[in-house]
């Protein structure tokens, strides 16, 4: 009987060790190598540098809260008093529809936005968080909603900003995968490149 157990156990241990090496070591190293060789920028986080300094990433959101910039959607990743968008704390808020804390936060955001742009409905993605808390994109409607506020803060023509937003819209992949979206980081970089002109 002892021989039967050892003869059955040996192949199981060998296969476990083999697959641990193949799938736990060889496969991840191969995928990392292929990613670094074929897509080095994406494999390293799609980081954007300026004057030799990393200023952000096109695939990980960051908080823009100044009136001079297009704002991102709220983030539940990390401390809310620090704007969220903590890459080490990626998650949603886990607050359900009956949560008073969620209701109060959304109401406060709605009131703030309606005070800046009265009489217009606030797009839902400007007051709701994404599942990851690190979403870099907003809907085109959310970007256009902010045009008048940003134009006032920067002394720019609203029509120029509408054209900037229209030129920043990314279409769904292959025409049907995903939604139309605007990358807030890229939009704000283009915004900084515009020269301020006084509004008549």
Residues sharing a CB contact under 8 Å with residue 92, sequence separation 6 or more, in sequence order: 76, 129, 130, 131, 132, 133
Q: Within this chain, do residues 127 and 70 fall inside the same structural domain, yes or no? A: yes
Q: Within this chain, do residues 89 and 135 fall inside the same structural domain, yes or no? A: yes
Who wins on pLDDT, 161 or 40?
161
Q: Within this chain, do residues 22 and 65 fall inside the same structural domain, yes or no? A: no
Q: Within this chain, do residues 139 and 165 fall inside the same structural domain, yes or no? A: yes
Instruction: Write down the pTM of the prediction.
Output: 0.76
Q: Within this chain, do residues 74 and 156 fall inside the same structural domain, yes or no? A: yes
Q: Is 199 within the bounds of a domain?
A: no
Q: Within this chain, do residues 138 and 70 fall inside the same structural domain, yes or no? A: yes
Q: Within this chain, do residues 38 and 134 fall inside the same structural domain, yes or no? A: no
- Confidence label for 199 from pLDDT (cuts 50, 70 and 90): very low
Q: Within this chain, do residues 151 and 70 fall inside the same structural domain, yes or no? A: yes
Q: Within this chain, do residues 39 and 59 fall inside the same structural domain, yes or no? A: no
Q: Count up the domains in the chain and report the number.
A: 2
**What are the tens digits of pLDDT across the range 70-124?**
999 888 887 766 667 877 777 777 788 888 988 998 899 899 888 888 888 999 9
Q: Closest Cα to residue 74, out of 47, 113, 46? A: 113
């Amino acid at each position: 009987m002892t021989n039967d157990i050892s003869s059955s156990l040996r192949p199981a241990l060998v296969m476990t060790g083999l697959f641990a090496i193949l799938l736990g070591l060889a496969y991840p190293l191969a995928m990392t190598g292929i990613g670094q060789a074929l897509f080095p920028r994406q494999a390293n986080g799609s980081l954007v540098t300026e004057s030799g300094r990393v200023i952000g990433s096109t695939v990980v959101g960051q908080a823009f809260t100044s009136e001079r910039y297009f704002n991102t959607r709220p983030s539940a990743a990390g401390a809310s008093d620090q704007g969220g968008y903590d890459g080490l704390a990626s998650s949603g808020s886990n607050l359900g529809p009956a949560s008073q804390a969620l209701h109060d936060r959304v109401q406060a955001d709605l009131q703030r936005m309606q005070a800046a742009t009265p009489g217009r409905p606030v797009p839902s993605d400007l007051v709701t968080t994404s599942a990851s808390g690190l979403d870099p994109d907003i809907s085109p409607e959310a970007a256009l909603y902010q045009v008048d506020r940003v134009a006032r803060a920067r002394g720019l023509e609203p029509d120029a900003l509408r054209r900037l937003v229209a030129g920043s819209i990314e279409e769904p992949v292959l025409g049907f995968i995903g939604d139309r979206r605007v990358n807030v980081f890229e939009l704000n970089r283009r915004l900084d490149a515009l020269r301020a002109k006084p509004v008549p």
